Each structure stands twice: as structure tokens, then as C-alpha cells.
Structure 1
Amino acid sequence: MRSYFFSSLAGAIALAAQPVLADETQLEQVTITASRVEIPRAESGVSVSVLTAVDIQQLGYSTLLDVIKTLPGISISNTGGLGKVSNVYVRGEASSRTLVLLDGVNMADAANTQVTTQFQHILAGDVERIEVLRGPQGMMYGAGAGGVINIITKRGNKPLQLELSAEGGRYDTERTQIAARGQQGGWDYKLDLNQLDSDGFNARESDTSGERDGYENQTGSASLGYSFSENFSIDGRVWRTEADTGFDNCYLGWDIVNDCLDSYQQTSYQLGANLTAAGVNHRLSLSNQELERASYSAGTHSFSMEGSIAELNYIGTRALAGGSITWGADMDQQEYASAGSMQDVDILGIYSEWRSDIADNVFYSVGYRHDRLEDRDHNSWRISAAVPQLIGDNQQLKYRASASTGFRAPSPYEISTNLSGGVDPVGPETSRGYELGVEYRYADLLQLELVAFQQSVTDAIVYVSGIGTGWGAYVQDDGESDSDGIELSLAGSLGESGRWYANGTWLDSTDSEGEQRLNVAERVYNLGASYTLLANTLTLSGNWRHAADRASPALVFGGPAERLDSYNRFDLNAVYDFSERVSFNLRGENLLDEDYREVAGFYTTGAAVYAGVKFNLN
């Protein structure tokens, strides 16, 4: 794959020079995630994908996992349906190397062996916007090699809005949501309650009893803010999820049973203040996220884990005559506790980025970050450039390039496994990445984006059995693991009533021994469309997904990786606006009833239909 990295860009430029078209609204879009402040996407030199509330509503999915799988550069793995262990791989990098923010709060599970986000428990009903920033992002966020997934929830921005929705369908699945949002005077507020219950299906092939592994999720969130003036405001928010998941293959003593339950509770809160003074914008926030997990085998408690992440963040930005500068600092404390064992990790980081332009058509940024991890120091940097050019009426051609580094600090659990037994202390992983891209946009018809990228991870933290105390420990791997590939995205209009999109990812992702990374599809395609009929009262939306060239963990300990067949999945969603206050939806998932696996040995949903109703009581 390395051999065609730069040659592919030449082909992209030639393709972009052809008369392809784009949505002119994209010319005005901004991105928040790329530099932690709003900048026009036309001036950004990095890869960012955006999904709005309209996109999410048209897709119709109930979970975040299903929503983001429609984006380029994304692979997913799920072990048996709703609520089961799931991972998101950005450009081939595992969830432990991708930072997930929910309204600015780090959602990683510090109680896990490697600090990953429990994607399977994040519902989509309250999400306003999703931005996915691909590639190493250590400079701004101190994150890993995969990138950043920034989730922004809905807020009150008009007088009181009340929403009530309910949905039901196959596998005895029921979903309800109640939301109140509003803005009055200087206040804005929100209360959102979501519940998702499903009896599910048998999760694991090895369980021949056919019993169903269900799922229950109750998620609530609230926010309150007050603006004293245009220059000063405060805000606070809280978010909590309680979930119970049935699964197969757990231990009761020395016996393996299939009556297993995972109980999960996660609570996060954030307090923040915004101040503009003397031309400088300041943001200060304090957040805390706590998580508790417990596992039961045939009703008997097996083990419990607790984790927490506390963060203090400051960010400042100022426009100057020659450009603008952003700077900030963050303090991060992660803690883990289980069975009397406790471990914590403290990280202090400072960073700054300068953004400017040359002759109003070459936009560039240069950023640097320094982190202090216990007794170790780490430096990260990023440089990027974007050259947008108007080449005709409503036409824009943009070339862009970026180079960046990142790192991932070891989790508290990873550190705790090698504190004895003669194993070297584990340190941070480091990463670097490069990308070149070209974009072409024209009017309101079609847009094209093609990106070629290379990225690598050094000193990867891996688990080795039989070392340390004898059970095993996390150590740092020799060599590099690599992900090289191409991402192609297209989108356009279907007259005045619809839009279509398509994206493809071609990836070569290998570990330090040159073997394909597990659970990562090396070829993924999405094709979707949305169209409005019947005087704008009926909206039909569909997504087709193809994944191929996949390897999965061995079904037998010590055995070779399992090769998985490619699959096609087609989903369709219909929304009918009966009136301004009442709408109905009908969604079909895996309508072709494809029998496929995302992880070897675990079932996936069959053809399923869900119907619902929504009331807007404004």
C-alpha cells in the first residue's frame, strides 16, 4: 500500500479536475474539533467528517455505533447485538487510541484493561452533531493515533420545546425518549431521558441452547447555562447511563456457563465558564467521569471494577493582525480500582497553535504540545496547510496536507500488571501520521474528497501471557505497527428534494510482525441517499454497507486468526410528518437478511423492522 500513497494523490488531482460538483453549503461549514475553536472547513488542512442532527434523524439509528459506521475510515466490531462489547477502529487504530468526547468530557472507561470508550452504551437520540477527526491528534488533545470523535448533544436555543417519542420492533425491542429544551432570558436548559430495552438474540455460536442475551439501557442528561452578557457565561451539565447486558461464556468457579450479566453505570458532569476580555476568548472547565462495572455468572457475583477520569481544562484564543493563536492547558487524572488493587495516572499538558494565511489563499497552522506523564516528558506537534482556489462560479478546488504526532499514555490497569515480577515499567505509545488530500466542490450538486494517508505506532502496549507474576502483563512491543490507505468521499444533490453520498476506504493495517490487525476491515464502502416526497411530508433514507478483507481473533486459544467473509448490509428508514407536531417512522435493518459476522463466533442481527411515533409539543 505504501507504493501507491503519493501516486494515488496524482490520480486524485486528475479526477478532481473533471467537472464534478458539490454542495455550496459545505463552503460555509465550520469545524470545532480540528483546532478546539471554530474555523471554516475550507481553511482546515486535516481530515474531519461531520454528521448533523438532520443526518442522524434521517439515518434513524438508535445507537452511536450504527451512526458513525457510515463515515469514511471507520471499521466496527460487535460481539452479539445491542449492548455487547463493541469497538470503533479509526484508520485501523483500536478504540484505546481514539479519544471520544461527549460535550467536552472524556468518555473513556478507566476501569477497562485498556482505556477505551464503551461505544455500545451511547445512544443517538440526544446527539446534535458528531465530528470525527482522523489521524494522530496528540498536539491538541494528547490523544492516540486513531483520532478524535467529538459528540455534541442538543441544547435549548429557542422557547420551550417538548419531545416525546416511542419505538418498538423485532427482538422485543422498545425505545422511549422524553426531552425538554428551551431558552429564555439569559438561561438555556435541557432535560433528556432515554430508555432502550431489548430481549436480543443468542449472542454466541458456542451457546447451543438458543437463549437470548438481552439489553437494558437508561440514559439521562441535563444541562443549564446562563449568559450574564455577550462576554461572560457559565454552564453545567450532567450525564448518566445505567445498563445491563446479557452475554455468553463466563466462569462460575472452573465451569463455563452462558448465563452471564454485565452491569454498567457511568456518570459524568462538567462545570464551565466562558469569558471574552481584551480581545481574548477564555474557556475554563472542570469535569469528572466515574464508572462502575460488575459481572455476574448464573446470578453469582464474579468481579467488580471502578474507574474515574477527572480533568481541568483551559483554552484561550485571540485574533491578531497576522492570524490567530490558540493556547491551553489540561490536567488529567485517571484512577482504577478492583479487588483491593488501585492505580492512578496523572498527566499535565500545555499546548499552542498558530493559524495564519499567505496572500489570503494558503492557510496554514503550526502547533506544539508538551505533556508531563508521571516522571516522563512527551512532545507532540502538528503542521497543516490548505490551499482553496475558486476556479469558476461556485466552484472550489482545495489541496491540503498535514503531518502530526500523537501518544497514548498507559492505562492504570496496564501499569498495575507489571509493577512486580521483573517486567520493565510500561511507558506511552507514540505515533506519527502524514496525509495529502484534494477536494473539489461545485454549487449544490456534488462534492469530492480524496485523502491518502500513512501512520504508524511505535512502542505499542500489548499483553503477553505468562510473564510478570505468571498470569501475564502489559509490555511495550518492539517495532512499528502501520496503517496506510486511501479514503474517497462523494456527495451530491438529487434535484431539490434529496441528497446522496458514497465513501470508500482502502486500508493496509498491520501489527509489528506484519500481520493484519484484527477486527479491521481493509475495504469498506458506504452508499446512501435521502429523498423527500409527498409535498415534503415523507422522507426515505437508506444506507448500504460493504466490508471485506477482515481477520478476527482465533476461536481456539493460540490458534490462527479467523478469516471472515465479506458482507453487505442494507438499512432503510422512512419518516412521515403527519403534522407539525406528529411524525411516524418505519426502519428496516439488514433488510437483505445477510448472515454475517463482525467478530468470529458471534451472531449479528437478522432482518429486523422497527416502527415509532414522535410528538413535538411546542
Structure 2
Amino acid sequence: MRRLFPLVTLSLLAAPAAARAQEAPAAPTLPETVVTGTRAPLAAARIPAAVTVITRQDIDERGYQSLAEALAAAPGLHLVQVGGLGQQASAFLRGAASRHVRVLLDGVPIEDPSDPNGAFNFGNDLLGDIERIEVVRGPASALYGSGAIGGVVNLITRRAPPGRAFAPFGEIAGGTQRTLRGTVGAAGESGGLDWMLAGQALSTRGFNATAPRFLSSLGERDGLHAAAFTARLGATPIEGTRFEALLRWRENVFGLDDVPRDDPNYSGSDRRWIGWMRGETRLLDGRWTTGLRLAATHDRRRYVNLPDAGSPASTYDLYRGERVVLDWANTVRLGGFGPVSDALLAFGVAEERERVDSASGSPFFRTTVNASQRSLAGHGGLQFRLFDRLDLSAGLRHDAPEGFDGATSWQVGGVLALPEIATRLRASAGTAFKAPSLFQRFGVIGTFFRGNPDLRPERSLAWEAGAETDLLDGFATVSALYFESRVRDLINFDAAFRTLENVDRARIRGAELGLTLSPAPWLSATLAWAITDARDAATGERLPRRPEHVVGVTARIAPLPRLVIAPEILLTGRSREAPFASYADDGTPFPTARSNPAGVVANLTASWRWSDAATLFVEGRNLGNSRFEPANGFVVPGRSLLLGVRLGL
């Protein structure tokens, strides 16, 4: 591993020199803009952070059914799902812990406050109402507050297409494992009003999540029944003034398994409501945009395990989490003067309230939380361009949670365009934090454990630098980026397992290498290679479930005008499992840390545009029927095939 870092650094420095000394070719389309990286729309090439955008076209052409499937090939993001659709899925972004990813829907935080660590489950959400997904890697607490140590994932819902009074869309598909999937929706715009409605459902028998290598495996399948509904309404009564509202509901019912043996009577349900209202207007001849948003989320999770032949025990776990956010945000376009152009000032104030009521575990090990907390935050940022080639940005935010120490986060970055050699250089640095969860502060386990209300936030300091170069008039784009971060005050149990303390530290470094080839208008391919070295700073041991290497290869092949073939190959390297978290085939846990073997999963989706209104598609997942275990004992879903038709006018 250590040998790779000098090579990565050398390639990062050498990439610009490898380009021909020429002007960058003009892009045939408008540059893609990103909202999440700066809070204001900005071309992706001008954002100092590393950004990945998954568009609606990507979702359709690659056959992504869930958020977990869509993020599996995102550079620098390793997804660990303990089973198939609807199962618990954790994201490790740039080697940070799964609780160190901030997740948003249209800019609104949607993590479940009742999760003991405050982590987000990426296995629940379907994508029928999602227009795009933006992934920003690196510290982002200066923009989005608690949790953004590894980065941010922002889901952006569909909107009405401009100038269309009525635009229906939908799909229906079915296939192996008795899988049925459907989406129906419509959107429109007329007379200053716009709207979008979408309903979606998925039912599948699924696969056995427990690895078949276990001698006690029963082969019992873990199915999923999922449904969701989204309504969005907007109004623009006068130019420069807009009102919007959204309501989204989804509920999943699923089977669960444990390791090292199947559990046929273990099931769960997960329901979430989210709603927000927002109004904004422009002042000072449109230079100042000010907006106020009120948002609320409600999560309810229930897990039931009835007695069976394998175990007489029973379980009834119930989690309820609520969050209310009030956010006042402003952007002031300062224009330009002298060598400065596109100057923009952003500032705002936010208040967030969380409440949890949960009870889980056996009578002796019963875990309960009944608590709430409130946090106030103020943030400001400045971005501008120098000499029409250097984009600079800086941000500062202070969060003041109720009852414990606050946190101040900062971020600075820049992008230097070198059109003479078709190259862009990026560098940034910043801090981030994760506030203690309500369980960590106020949780109770039996009579022997109490949370620690005096816990400090977990904090990080990180930097990154990289380059991106276009070669041979757009034939290829190569990129290389190196990053380092230090995380301190990590929360863990004390030696007596009676409370929690800020006791751990981590050091993480790595590289993200990319290559995109576009040899012909009908052919493009992308390779993303993430190298991660995440270690406990005190012991030097690798952190669990952070693979040394993750390689994703995706392609878009359109040999005929109406045909698109989209292969995807995901290669995951070895990862470490903690002591007693890996098992022999007979189910015996290993008392020492061990490595999970590497694995490969291959997917293929093909789409045929039968008419302007209908597209036929076939989706094949895990075509090689890999038995890869992203978490020891839990196997990836087996081979599946889905046929369907997608409609849109």
C-alpha cells in the first residue's frame, strides 16, 4: 500500500504535462451545474471539491432500482449492504465512518435521529421520483453542519419540465425472484404553477442474505415490499419570487437475517414522512436572493422476531425519530471588479430540533432513549473568480448544540483552469464534525449503561489536491487526486461498557484515480479506482470495512440509434473485520481481526427505444452469481433478471 502513494503523487503531478499544448475544445453542451458543492449553482468544473453526479439518464440506462445500487459505483464511496433490496446499507465515504456522511433530500437532512450512531440507511429508498444524485467528497460541515466529515449525498427530486402542461412518466417491470416494480407519475407547468406527482412500488421474494457457506444455512429468502409517494407543488406569482412545497412518504416491509444462521421469523418495517415548504424572493434588482424553509421528517422503524425452532427468544424493537429544521438562506451576487468576476456572498441561520423515543433489545439488555436536543447555526461563505481562470471559495460555520460544546467549521478551496494544456488543478482543505447522537448522550441499557451527556463532537481536519486533464480533443479525460484526513474525539464505549467516551482517533489517506474514454459518439467508458488507507491512529490497525481498493468500470454503448447497452463491473478489494465479527463455516466467531476476501460483481442493462414514448429494457444483476460478502457472513444478492417498459411523453 505504501508503495502506491509515491506513484499516485507522481501521476497527479505529471497528468497536466501529458496533455497536448492546445486550447480546450468547446463543449457541445452547456456545462453541468452542481448545487450541493457550494449551495449555489456552479459549473462542476469550477467546484474545488470532488463531485459525482448521477443523473436521471444514468438511473434509467444502468437499471438502478434503489439508492444503494446507484451509489455502488460512485468513486470514493464504499457501500456495505447486509443483504439485498431494502436491507441495511452503510456508506463509507473516503474511509470515514458510516455515520460521517450527511444525507439530504433537496437540501434537507434526512438521517434518522433514532439510529444509535446517527447513521443513514442507504438501503431503503427507491428512485422513481429522483432526478439526480449529487455526491460531494471531503469535509463539508462549513456548508451542511453535523455529519459531513466524509462528504454529502444530496437527492434531488423531479420537477416539472419547462413549458409542458402535462408530462406523464412511468414504468412497469418484472422478473426473477417474483420481482414486480412499477412507477407512475406526471408533472406539468402552466400559468405560473408547476406540479409533480409520483407513486412507486416494488415487491420481491429476494435472496437469502446469510452466506450459503454456513453449515446451518436454511436458504430462507428475505423479501421486500416497498411503496412510496411524492407530491411537489410550486408557484411563481411574479418574476423573482417563488414558493415550493414537497411531501414524500415511503414504507418498506422486509425479511431480515442474522449471522451465522438464518432466522425465518425475523422481519421489519421502515416508514418515513418528509415535508418541506420554502419561499424565496429576489431583492436589489435580483442581486440578493433570500429564502426561508421549514422542513420536518418523521421516521418509524419496527423489528419483530418471533420464537422458532432455532431460538425460543422473541424481540420487539421500536424506533421513532423526528427532526424539524428552519433555515434562512441568502445569496448576494456581487458581480465583478478589476480581475474579480462572478463574486458571490452566501450567509444564513438555521435551527434544528431532534427528538427520539425508542426501545429495543432483550429484557436484560433493553435499550431505551427518550430525549430531544436543539441546535442553532450560523454560516457564511464567499466565492469568486480571478483573471477568468482561478475560482476561489471559503466558508465558515458555527453550530451551537444545546447542552454540549459547539463546533466551528471552515473550508477553503480553489480551482485553476489551464486551457493551454486542457487541465484543471484543484485543492481544498477544511474541518468537519459529527455531533453526538441522542442515544450516545441519553441512551440507557438495562441497569448498567448510561449515555454521556458531556460528550464532545467528533472532529476532523482534511486536505486534498488533484488534477484533471482532457487529452486528444476530448478522446480521454484522466484525473488523479490525493487526500488526507485526521479524525479525533471519536466516540466509543469505555473499558467497563458503562458509558461512552471521546477516546479514539483515526488517520486516513488515499487517492482517487479516474479515466474516461470517448472514442466515438456511440461509445464511452469510465474507470474509477479508489485507494484507501484508513487506520486507528493509536494502534495502526486498519479500520473495519474500508477496502484497500475499489474499482468501478461503467460504459455506455449505443451501436444503434435506439439501443443503449450499459455494463457495470464493481471490484472490491480486501477489507478488515473486527474481532468476533467474522465467522467460520460452522458459525464459530473468530476472536481476532480477519480480512474479508475481495469480490467482483458484474451488472448489465440494455434499453431499446421502441417509440418516442416507450422504451423496452432488460436489467441483469450479478451476472456471474458472485458470492462476495461485503460484510462477513452476509452475501450479495444472487443473479437476477428483470424485463420492463418505461413510458414518458
Fold-level similarity (TM above 0.5): yes
Q: CA deviation at 1:360?
A: 2.4
Structure 1 residue 168 corresponds to structure 2 residue 174: yes
Please, which of 270, 275, 278 is the counterpart of residue 269 of structure 1? 275
Structure 1 residue 120 corresponds to structure 2 residue 123: yes
Q: Distance in 2 between matches of 1:301 and 1:547?
A: 34
Check the 8 A contact 2:15/2:479 in 1, yes or no: no
Check the 8 A contact 2:442/2:453 in 1, yes or no: no
- Give the structure 2 partner of residue 214 of structure 1: 223
Larger CA deviation: 412-421 vs 292-301: 412-421
- Give the structure 2 partner of residue 102 of structure 1: 105
Matched residue type, 1:153: T
Q: Distance in 2 between matches of 1:14 and 1:256?
A: 52
Structure 1 residue 440 corresponds to structure 2 residue 469: yes
Matched residue type, 1:150: N
SS of 1:57's partner is helix
Check the 8 A contact 1:22/1:448 in 2, yes or no: no
CA root-mean-square deviation:
2.4
- Give the structure 2 partner of residue 227 of structure 1: 236
Q: Distance in 1 between matches of 2:637 and 2:138?
A: 31
Larger CA deviation: 495-504 vs 335-344: 335-344
Identity of aligned residues (%): 25
Q: CA deviation at 1:372?
A: 0.5
Structure 1 residue 551 corresponds to structure 2 residue 576: yes
Check the 8 A contact 1:22/1:447 in 2, yes or no: no
Check the 8 A contact 1:202/1:210 in 2, yes or no: yes
Q: Distance in 2 between matches of 1:317 and 1:402?
A: 22
TM-score normalized with structure 1 length: 0.93
Matched residue type, 2:349: A
- Give the structure 2 partner of residue 242 of structure 1: 251
Q: Distance in 2 between matches of 1:144 and 1:537?
A: 41
SS of 2:13's partner is helix
After superposing on structure 2, the runs of 4+ consecutive aligned residues of structure 1 that deviate more than 6 Å are: 1-4, 20-23
- Give the structure 2 partner of residue 335 of structure 1: 355
Matched residue type, 1:147: G
Deviations 1:319-351 (A, max 9, x none): 214522111111111111124741122111111
Q: CA deviation at 1:550?
A: 1.1
- Give the structure 2 partner of residue 351 of structure 1: 379
- Give the structure 2 partner of residue 500 of structure 1: 525
Matched residue type, 1:521: P
Note the 1:585-600 alignment, pairs <5 A.
Answer: 585-600=617-632
Larger CA deviation: 349-358 vs 218-227: 349-358
Q: Distance in 2 between matches of 1:70 and 1:422?
A: 37
Larger CA deviation: 319-328 vs 281-290: 319-328
Matched residue type, 2:293: S
Please, which of 454, 460, 470 is the counterpart of residue 484 of structure 2? 454
In 2 relative to 1, CA 423–106 (structure 1 residues): closer, same or farther, beyond 3 Å? Answer: closer
Q: Distance in 2 between matches of 1:424 and 1:335?
A: 15
- Give the structure 1 partner of residue 608 of structure 2: 576
SS of 1:109's partner is coil
Q: Distance in 1 between matches of 2:510 and 2:25?
A: 24
Deviations 1:233-263 (A, max 9, x none): 1000011111111112499xxx995410111
In 2 relative to 1, CA 427–418 (structure 1 residues): closer, same or farther, beyond 3 Å? Answer: farther
Q: Distance in 1 between matches of 2:30 and 2:95?
A: 29
Structure 1 residue 381 corresponds to structure 2 residue 410: yes
- Give the structure 2 partner of residue 11 of structure 1: 11
- Give the structure 2 partner of residue 306 of structure 1: 320
Structure 1 residue 288 corresponds to structure 2 residue 296: yes
Please, which of 529, 546, 551 is the counterpart of residue 525 of structure 1? 551
Q: Distance in 1 between matches of 2:322 and 2:451?
A: 28
Deviations 1:275-310 (A, max 9, x none): 111120112111000001111112866121100111
Q: Distance in 2 between matches of 1:341 and 1:180?
A: 41
Deviations 1:480-510 (A, max 9, x none): 2122000011213241212211110111011
Q: Distance in 2 between matches of 1:582 and 1:319?
A: 43
Q: CA deviation at 1:17?
A: 2.2
Please, which of 138, 144, 151 is the counterpart of residue 147 of structure 1? 151
Q: CA deviation at 1:105?
A: 2.0
Check the 8 A contact 2:439/2:451 in 1, yes or no: no
Q: CA deviation at 1:511?
A: 2.4
Q: CA deviation at 1:357?
A: 2.9
Deviations 1:31-81 (A, max 9, x none): 211110012223221111112111221111101111111121011111121
Check the 8 A contact 1:130/1:149 in 2, yes or no: yes
Q: CA deviation at 1:417?
A: 3.0
Q: Distance in 1 between matches of 2:589 and 2:354?
A: 32
Check the 8 A contact 2:526/2:553 in 1, yes or no: yes
Larger CA deviation: 326-335 vs 264-273: 326-335
Matched residue type, 2:236: S
**Structure 1: which 5+ residue stretches go unaligned?**
none
In 2 relative to 1, CA 504–257 (structure 1 residues): closer, same or farther, beyond 3 Å? Answer: closer
In 2 relative to 1, CA 451–576 (structure 1 residues): closer, same or farther, beyond 3 Å? Answer: same
TM-score normalized with structure 2 length: 0.88
Q: Distance in 1 between matches of 2:256 and 2:508?
A: 32
Q: CA deviation at 1:466?
A: 4.4
SS of 1:56's partner is helix
Check the 8 A contact 1:23/1:492 in 2, yes or no: no
Q: Distance in 1 between matches of 2:148 and 2:491?
A: 12
Deviations 1:464-489 (A, max 9, x none): 57432xxxx332224x2122000011
Deviations 1:548-567 (A, max 9, x none): 12123423668223311111
Check the 8 A contact 1:2/1:484 in 2, yes or no: no
In 2 relative to 1, CA 166–297 (structure 1 residues): closer, same or farther, beyond 3 Å? Answer: same
SS of 2:422's partner is strand
Please, which of 87, 90, 95 is the counterpart of residue 87 of structure 1? 90
- Give the structure 2 partner of residue 42 of structure 1: 45
- Give the structure 1 partner of residue 201 of structure 2: 195
Matched residue type, 1:225: G
- Give the structure 2 partner of residue 326 of structure 1: 346
Structure 1 residue 370 corresponds to structure 2 residue 398: yes
In 2 relative to 1, CA 331–118 (structure 1 residues): closer, same or farther, beyond 3 Å? Answer: same
Matched residue type, 1:61: Y
Matched residue type, 1:80: G
SS of 2:388's partner is coil
Check the 8 A contact 1:438/1:451 in 2, yes or no: yes
Q: CA deviation at 1:7?
A: 6.8
**Structure 2: which 5+ residue stretches go unaligned?**
308-313, 360-367, 583-587
- Give the structure 1 partner of residue 185 of structure 2: 179
Check the 8 A contact 1:313/1:329 in 2, yes or no: yes
Q: Distance in 1 between matches of 2:159 and 2:642?
A: 27
Check the 8 A contact 1:219/1:239 in 2, yes or no: yes
Larger CA deviation: 450-459 vs 354-363: 354-363
Check the 8 A contact 1:397/1:439 in 2, yes or no: yes
Check the 8 A contact 1:76/1:87 in 2, yes or no: yes
